[in-house]
């Protein structure tokens, strides 16, 4: 397996509670307000429980249903709380597909968080659309797509593999080569738009 994924952090099988999800969404929102609106350097409070575990994650920003930024951290080298806060700021400022988010846009942003499991080598016939996200590596090239991308676009497993190769800047059929490394991961995905009472507070 690639050294990229050899994290010293312990694997966690614990799922996030609604309270955990609510706390992470608040961290993402506060990091955006503090950094972009108030112009101050965001510093997380000391996390506890599962939020203190070293886990990877992605933050996706939408405005009125349209993508506005998405940045993540696969490597589990920071606490989950810090990963989410830093990725929220990066999604707003450093996604080179978009102009940086301006202060007057922050209130319009819809935040979605994906908390990742540790990536593990996976065979093409083991991929379950809707369950697995994918990472494809070949030489210096790497592409990643989250599980919800394949579901939203109604892709087959082969189409998902091809699109992940394209995301890496590789030909679509690179996944068929024995020299290509394929990793799968799962994600707990939640957003501010969910209706659970704990998430709306």
CATH of the domain at 37: 3.30.700.20
pLDDT beyond 50 at 10? no
pLDDT of residue 59: 97
Domain that holds residue 157: 120-185
Residues 76/10, Cβ–Cβ less than 8 Å = no
pLDDT beyond 80 at 195? no
Whether residues 79 and 103 fall in one domain? yes
Enumerate residues 6+ apart whose C-beta is below 8 A from 159: 150
Report how far apart, in Å, the C-alpha atoms of 88 and of each of 54, 115, 151, 191 are.
Answer: 17, 13, 23, 13
Predicted confidence band at 193 (pLDDT cuts at 50, 70, 90)?
Answer: confident
Better pLDDT: 200 or 183: 183
Burial classification of residue 154, based on how many CB atoms lie within 10 Å of its CB (0-12 exposed, 13-18 middle, 19 or more buried):
exposed
Average pLDDT on 133-150 reads: 96
Query: What distance lies between CA 149 and its chain's CA centroid?
Result: 11
Q: How many domains does the chain have?
A: 2
Whether 133 is covered by a domain: the verdict is yes
pLDDT beyond 90 at 14? no
Predicted confidence band at 44 (pLDDT cuts at 50, 70, 90)?
Answer: confident
Please identify which residue in the block is written with the tokens 């080298």.
Answer: 77
pLDDT beyond 80 at 2? no
pLDDT beyond 70 at 22? yes
């Amino acid at each position: 397996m690639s050294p990229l994924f050899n994290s010293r952090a312990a694997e966690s099988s614990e799922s996030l509670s609604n309270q955990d999800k609510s706390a992470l969404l608040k961290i993402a929102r506060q990091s955006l307000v503090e950094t972009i609106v108030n112009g101050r350097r965001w510093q997380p409070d000391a996390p506890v429980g599962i939020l203190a575990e070293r886990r990877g994650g992605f933050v996706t920003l939408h405005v009125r249903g349209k993508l506005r930024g998405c940045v993540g951290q696969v490597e589990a080298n920071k606490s989950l709380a810090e990963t989410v806060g830093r990725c929220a700021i990066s999604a707003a400022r450093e996604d080179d597909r978009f102009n940086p988010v301006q202060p007057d846009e922050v209130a319009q942003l819809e935040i979605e968080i994906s908390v990742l499991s540790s990536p593990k080598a996976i065979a093409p016939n083991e991929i379950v659309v809707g369950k697995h996200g994918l990472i494809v590596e070949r030489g210096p090239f790497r592409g990643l797509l989250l599980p919800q991308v394949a579901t939203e676009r109604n892709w087959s497993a082969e189409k998902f593999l091809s699109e992940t190769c394209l995301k890496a800047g590789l030909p679509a059929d690179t996944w068929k080569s024995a020299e290509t490394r394929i990793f799968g991961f799962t994600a707990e995905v939640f957003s501010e738009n969910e209706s659970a009472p704990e998430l709306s507070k």
